Amino acid sequence: MPSVQSLHTFALPAHCAALITITHSESLFEVDFSKPCYVMGEGSNTVFIEDFTGTVLKIANKGIAVTEQQDVWHVRAAAGENWHQLVIHLLELGVFGFENLALIPGTVGAAPVQNIGAYGVEVGQFIKSVKGYDIAKAQFVELAQAECGFAYRESIFKQILKDAFIITEVLFELPKQWHPVLSYGPLQSLDKNTVTAQQVFDKVIEIRQSKLPDPKVLANAGSFFKNPIVESDQVQTLSKQYPDIPKYPVDAKYTKLAAGWLIEQVGLKGFELGGIAVYHKQALVLVNQGAGTASELKAMIQHIQQSVWQKFNVQLEHEVRVIAANGNVQLQGVQA
Ligand code: EPU
């Protein structure tokens, strides 16, 4: 059984029944989809907690084509391209818009799945269409932005198309007229009238490097939990007790809370359980200090979920895709 330890950035030891690397999308026609498959890119948002009994399909096709339209740029990128390298490439070409999303680990094909977002920008807003292989139909189809169901860390690819559609290419549309997004705290120090895309890019990299660990140095999978979206009435009650609680309005009824803040408030920032730790600079990130095990990770997830539930009555859902013997699982440490 091939090892998957080096295929996911959390680097827990595990295996899969078979590993297929897809360098050309047409080779998907030859894959036997009657067996369970797990599709991945660079494994920066996936954690294997058991030996997976199916086939891992690693998407590694390449290619970027930029075409100029009247008011916009069209960028067609293969799913296997590295996201950050695409951001750099576009910046060098003078195609702006992705600088807030610099240094996000992973591939282009993974970006729409969880609608990657950072510092006031989500990738879904720039996606014109997503092309992929429809497993049931055994053919390639292209979904327009409106069909992709983008929301905070959500898309149709995690919902009804999970295990049914393999993203092979993404078409982005970026306006030629660049509008810097400087709403996030530390970016507000930049002057919106004179700022360049390069300066935003540099600042984003500085912010990320100051609080997020580099997976090449310290194994991790980025934010481990989603920021929970809860009813605004509950947030109002919490705000009376905790006036400093960070909160972000979503709509008339719901408000998003900062999971990192909640975890820090229950005293778990820097907490270690065997080889797994809550990162000391950003409590939303879990790290594998080298010899961490899956059972320690599961105990850590449960401990965090229970502690936050007991203090705040808020359920934390892990954002990272957790793969057990039969595929994706959602670990739930509390019963609401
Ligand atoms: N906070 C704490 N303690 C912590 C961490 C955060 O009090 O240990 C507080 C901060 O002071 C701030 C708030 O929580 O008031 C939010 O923190 P931060 O700005 O660091 O962002 P985040 O909500 O923790 C999200 C994304 C990140 C993204 C940043 C910036 C999710 C799950 N995570 O983190 O994305 O880079 O915002 O936009 O939405 C990722 O998905 O892997 C990721 C890194």
Q: For 209-239, how does the pLDDT look when each residue is reduced to its tens digit (9 = 90+)?
A: 999 999 999 999 999 999 999 999 999 999 9
In the reported structure, the alpha carbon of residue 284 is separated from the centroid of ligand 1 by a whole-number distance in angstroms of 7
Model-level pTM? 0.96
Catalytic residue among 25, 155, 223, 307: 223
Share of the chain above pLDDT 90, in %: 98
The mean per-residue pLDDT over the stretch 257-285 comes to 98
Which tokens hold the place of 46? 């996936």
Single out the residue of 302, 272, 322 nearest to residue 45, CA to CA. 322
DSSP code, position 252 = S
Q: How far apart are CA 297 and CA 302, in angstroms?
A: 9
Q: Whose CA is nearest to atom 34 of ligand 1?
A: 223
State the pLDDT at residue 334.
75
Tens of pLDDT along 278-310?
999 999 999 999 999 999 999 999 999 999 999
Give the pair of three-digit tokens for residue 102.
């610099």
Q: How many helices (H) and strands (E) does the chain have?
A: 5, 20
Bridge partners of 66, per DSSP, are: 75
Distance of alpha carbon 282 from alpha carbon 286, whole angstroms: 9
CA angle 134, 87, 115 (to 5 degrees): 45
> Which residues, 6 or more positions from 94, have their beta carbon under 8 angstroms from its beta carbon?
none
Query: Ligand 1 center to residue 283 CA distance, Å?
Result: 9
321 is catalytic: no
Given strand 46-48, what is the order of strands in its sheet? 46-48, 321-324, 327-329
Mean pLDDT of 147-161: 97
Q: Is the beta carbon of 227 within 6 A of some atom in ligand 1?
A: yes
Atom of ligand 1 nearest to the CA of 223: 42
Kindly compute the dihedral angle of the four CA atoms of residues 260, 261, 265, 271, in this order, to the nearest 10 degrees.
20
Overall average pLDDT of the 317-326 stretch: 96
Identify whether the C-beta of residue 328 lies closer than 8 Å to the C-beta of residue 322.
yes
β-pair type (229-231, 254-257): antiparallel
**Predicted confidence (pLDDT) at residue 193 exceeds the cutoff of 80:** yes
- Contacts of 261 by beta carbon, 8 Å cutoff, 6+ apart: 245, 246, 283
Is 151 a residue whose pLDDT tops 80?
yes
For residue 331, what are the contacts with CB-CB under 8 A and spacing of at least 6? Answer: 298, 301, 302, 318, 322
Q: Is the CB of 119 under 6 A from ligand 1?
A: yes
Identify whether 153 is a catalytic site residue: yes
- Mean pLDDT over residues 137-152, rounded? 98
Active site residue 208: no
β-pairing, 285-288 vs 321-324, is unpaired
Tell me, what's the pLDDT at 169?
A: 98
Q: Is 44 exposed, middle or buried (0-12, 13-18, 19+ CB in 10 A)?
A: buried
Q: Rounded CA gap, 227 and 319, in Å? A: 9
Neighbouring residues of 299: CB distance < 8 A, sequence distance ≥ 6: 273
**What domains are defined for the chain?**
5-59 (3.30.43.10), 64-207 (3.30.465.10), 214-329 (3.90.78.10)
CB-based burial label for 327 (10 Å; 0-12, 13-18, 19+): middle
Q: Whose CA is nearest to atom 43 of ligand 1?
A: 223
Distance CA 133, CA 109 (A): 12
Is the distance from the beta carbon of residue 118 to the nearest atom of ligand 1 less than 6 Å? yes
What average pLDDT does the segment 52-60 reach?
98
Percent of the chain with pLDDT over 70: 99
Q: What does the mean pLDDT of the chain come to? A: 97
pLDDT value at position 336?
58
Residue nearest (by alpha carbon) to ligand 1 atom 25: 118
- CA-closest residue to ligand 1 atom 7: 261
Structure tokens, 49: 């907690």
DSSP lists the bridge partners of residue 230 as: 255
Give Cα 245 to chain centroid, integer Å. Answer: 24
Distance (Å, whole) CA 248 – CA 245? 10
Confidence of residue 335 (pLDDT cuts 50, 70, 90): low
Pocket of ligand 1 contains residue 258 by CB under 6 Å: yes
Nearest to 20 by CA among 7, 12, 11: 7
Confidence of residue 333 (pLDDT cuts 50, 70, 90): confident
Q: Are strands 254-257 and 247-249 parallel, antiparallel or unpaired?
A: antiparallel
Q: What whole-number distance in Å separates Cα of residue 294 and Cα of residue 300?
A: 10
* DSSP-based three-state secondary structure for 85: helix
Ligand 1 pocket member 222 (CB < 6 A): yes
